[in-house]
A and B are shown apart, each in its own frame.
Chain A
Amino acid sequence: MDDSRRRAFERALSHWSEVFVFARQLVRDPGLSEDLAQEAYLRLHASDAPLDDDRPVRTLLFTIVRNLVRSRARKRFEGPLGGDEDEFASDARSPEEIAHAREDGAVVRDVLAQMRPSWRAALYLADGLDCSYAEIATCLGASEDTVRTTLYRARAHLRSVLARGTSRHGRGDT
């Protein structure tokens, strides 16, 4: 590893928490998310992919995480039949019950926990990190149109739950 590549890898480490949280959107289990994030860095280190400004390293790491998750999902797909694993576990309550029971912050968390991982990941990239549609599309391996659609649906879903919550609490729904 030459100096410039090593420095690039050190810079990449500054994105650790972002990569970890991205992994958390795809697999809810924190331990697994940490493993995936670490594996992404190891693969980045072992690869000969250029680490320069032309290809932002954060996007590269997100893409590696996404591929790792997809590999896992494919293995699950090929694996034994059975119920869902914990990593995609969702809250059994209805969105209405969640909205009724909690304040907005907790509602957001619970609604996200119920969402499809791809929606969560898109929301995280768009609203958590302000990524462009093009960047999100690269990270998720989808087209920009798909990203727009996904974001719209995810936000609409979140909005509907929040709206039901505020309505029941008599706040702001006039």
Chain B
Amino acid sequence: MKDDEFSDLDLGAIRWSLREHFDSERRAAPPVPRRLHSIAAANSPRRTRRFGVGLATGCLAAASLIVALSLRQRADASPAAALGRAAANYLSLDDATLRIEIESVALAFMTALSESENADTRSNFETMVFFVDVARPDRFVIRRENESKPGIALAGCDGSKLWSFDAGAGRAQVLDLGDDVDPPEFDLTRWLSFEFVSQIEKEAGRGRLVEVARSDQENGAGGLRRFRVEPREGVGSTSPFHWSGATLTVDAPTDTIVDARITLQVGPLRFAEARVEIVARNSGFDPRHFSVEANVPESTRIVELAIHEPTFAAESSQDVDEAVADEPFAIVLARTGMRFSELESVLRRNLISTSTAYGLKVVSVAPESPAARAGILPGDILMKWNAQPVRSTRELSDWLDDRAAPASVPVEVARRKRVSLLSRKPWIDVSLTLTPEPRR
């Protein structure tokens, strides 16, 4: 595939035309926004510091205050600097992912605290909610509620002040963070990692499918390809955290160009990416398979493997329809209008409660869809479908495909009540009836 294949029309002419076009677009570009000029002139590290260190110190201080309020916890050395960098990594995430991640991490943290307090209280543990201003992650509120203790413990941070409130003991404290506050001596990373990492460890150890990638094909046909993540033989069996490489088996024709990357979650808040290099291509006996290998430093602690699409997400809804037509989530999407969170398993484990470890978090509801008509809202957690606990999208698609299924199905969702931080029941159960679109 060389440039000199352009014989009938000069490549130079094409490039010249393109350059003319792009130059004209650049000339038509708007001026540099004043905001950016003022940032460059301000010589102020405020935003960066407050984002990273603010989140880190805020989390650390809030953790300590909660501990001071309700737990007897020993202090460890603080990796505050590492947490600051970790928080800064969030800058590369979109808001929705950021919110989910912070919720997951914070809730895992609360779980860890609860479990460390007293084994007997685990079964009594009721709710824990983390509210965060996505635009300002250094502003947050953590609420913790435990049946074994009267009242509710709250702690929060507004960027400069840290406050806590213990309704049971009737105590409130406000701590001014100031500019030079030292992070409390507390190893938050260890606590954060406790539950979150152990959950992902199980997932990674099984080599589950974490994401579906779309391959780049001729004419942009965008056929769907399923990627399977498997620990390399003899490596993943001892510790899924120490893969020196992971082999991905790819169902794809040999003429398909596959370009994927692996996202390594190297800590509760940290992400890194590794390129996937094609190291072998078997074109002999089974042309559908070849291997790609991710070169991962041995010291990396892999928490999650995710394969991204090679270049861009689908460029039109038609692409999506074609690409995902045979996928469980596409079936669910098409028949109900609901789409669920990618992090559903983590959220399922942490968001709801340890006694009801099921449910899928609804991230979008298509307008005029069956789910919308039934009254399901984004943010709801679909708990039961036809009186059966909902555990996975695949299961849901199987139920939808069941010819014996009734036309209208009773569903139960858990819905977060709005605003009221002091409510004892932040989630309410809602019973609805959903009539899926008929099978095509």
**Are the CB atoms of A84 and B317 closer together than 8 Å?**
yes
A70 and B312 contact, Cβ closer than 8 Å, known pairs A13-B36, A80-B366, A162-B9? yes
**Are the CB atoms of B1 and A21 closer together than 8 Å?**
no
Chain B residues positioned under 8 Å from A20 (CB to CB) = 26, 29-30
Is A169's beta carbon under 8 Å from chain B?
Answer: no
Chain A residues positioned under 8 Å from B318 (CB to CB) = 84
In Å, the complex CA distance between A13 and B41 comes to 12
A83 and B317 contact, Cβ closer than 8 Å, known pairs A16-B32, A41-B36? yes
Q: Which residue of A lies closest to B341 (CB)?
A: A78
A162's contact among B14, B97, B218, B333, by CB below 8 Å, is which?
B14
**Are the CB atoms of B339 and A21 closer together than 8 Å?**
no
Is B313's beta carbon under 8 Å from chain A?
Answer: yes
In Å, the complex CA distance between A117 and B309 comes to 14
Is B68's beta carbon under 8 Å from chain A?
Answer: no
A48 and B9 contact, Cβ closer than 8 Å, known pairs A13-B32, A128-B22, A159-B14? no
In Å, the complex CA distance between A116 and B218 comes to 12
In Å, the complex CA distance between A105 and B37 comes to 34
Q: Which residues between 2 and 26 of chain B lie within 8 Å of chain A, taking CB atoms?
A: 3, 5-6, 8-9, 11, 14-15, 17-23, 25-26
**Are the CB atoms of A128 and B18 closer together than 8 Å?**
yes
Contact string against B for A residues 61-84, beta-carbon threshold 8 Å, 1 for contact and 0 otherwise: 000100111111111111111111
Q: Which residue of B lies closest to A3 (CB)?
A: B43
Q: Which residues between 108 and 158 of chain A lie within 8 Å of chain B, taking CB atoms?
A: 108-109, 112, 116-118, 123-124, 127-129, 140-143, 145-146, 148-150, 152-153, 155-156, 158
B40's contact among A10, A76, A77, A142, by CB below 8 Å, is which?
A10
9-residue interface stretch from B86-94, B225-233, B237-245: B86-94
Q: Which residue of A lies closest to B333 (CB)?
A: A81
Is B311's beta carbon under 8 Å from chain A?
Answer: yes
B317's contact among A75, A81, A141, by CB below 8 Å, is which?
A81
**Are the CB atoms of A6 and B1 closer together than 8 Å?**
no
**Are the CB atoms of B312 and A21 closer together than 8 Å?**
no
Looking at the assembled complex, report how far the CB atom of A94 sits from the nearest CB atom of chain B, in whole angstroms.
15
Chain B residues positioned under 8 Å from A143 (CB to CB) = 257, 259, 275
Chain A residues positioned under 8 Å from B312 (CB to CB) = 26, 69-70, 73, 117-118
Is B85's beta carbon under 8 Å from chain A?
Answer: yes
Contact string against A for B residues 398-418, beta-carbon threshold 8 Å, 1 for contact and 0 otherwise: 000000000000000000000
B310's contact among A142, A162, A163, by CB below 8 Å, is which?
A142
Q: Which residues between 2 and 36 of chain A lie within 8 Å of chain B, taking CB atoms?
A: 6, 9-10, 13, 16-18, 20-21, 24, 26, 30, 34
In Å, the complex CA distance between A127 and B436 comes to 50
Q: Which residue of A lies closest to B29 (CB)?
A: A17
In Å, the complex CA distance between A110 and B296 comes to 43
Contact residues of A: prevailing secondary structure = helix
Looking at the assembled complex, report how far the CB atom of A99 sits from the nearest CB atom of chain B, in whole angstroms.
12
Count: A-B pairs, CB below 8 Å: 189
Chain B residues positioned under 8 Å from A129 (CB to CB) = 22
A155 and B6 contact, Cβ closer than 8 Å, known pairs A6-B40, A88-B315, A117-B312? yes
Q: Contact size class for A?
A: 35 or more
In Å, the complex CA distance between A62 and B11 comes to 26
B25's contact among A24, A77, A152, by CB below 8 Å, is which?
A24
Is B185's beta carbon under 8 Å from chain A?
Answer: no
Is A43's beta carbon under 8 Å from chain B?
Answer: yes
B366's contact among A69, A81, A116, by CB below 8 Å, is which?
A81
9-residue interface stretch from B44-52, B58-66, B101-109: B44-52
In Å, the complex CA distance between A155 and B16 comes to 12
9 intermolecular pairs with C-beta atoms under 8 Å apart: A21-B29, A34-B33, A42-B39, A48-B88, A71-B93, A74-B313, A78-B364, A81-B337, A82-B366
Interface residues of A, Cβ cutoff 8 Å to B:
1, 6, 9-10, 13, 16-18, 20-21, 24, 26, 30, 34, 38, 41-43, 45-48, 64, 67-84, 88, 104-105, 108-109, 112, 116-118, 123-124, 127-129, 140-143, 145-146, 148-150, 152-153, 155-156, 158-159, 162-163, 166, 173
Instruction: With A47-B92, A80-B337, A158-B18 given, name 8 new contacts (CB 8 A).
Output: A47-B48, A70-B313, A80-B364, A127-B14, A128-B23, A150-B216, A150-B311, A155-B11
Interface residues of B, Cβ cutoff 8 Å to A:
1, 3, 5-6, 8-9, 11, 14-15, 17-23, 25-27, 29-33, 35-37, 39-40, 43-45, 47-48, 51-52, 85, 88, 91-94, 96-97, 216, 218, 220, 257, 259, 261, 275, 308-318, 320, 333-334, 337, 339, 363-367, 369
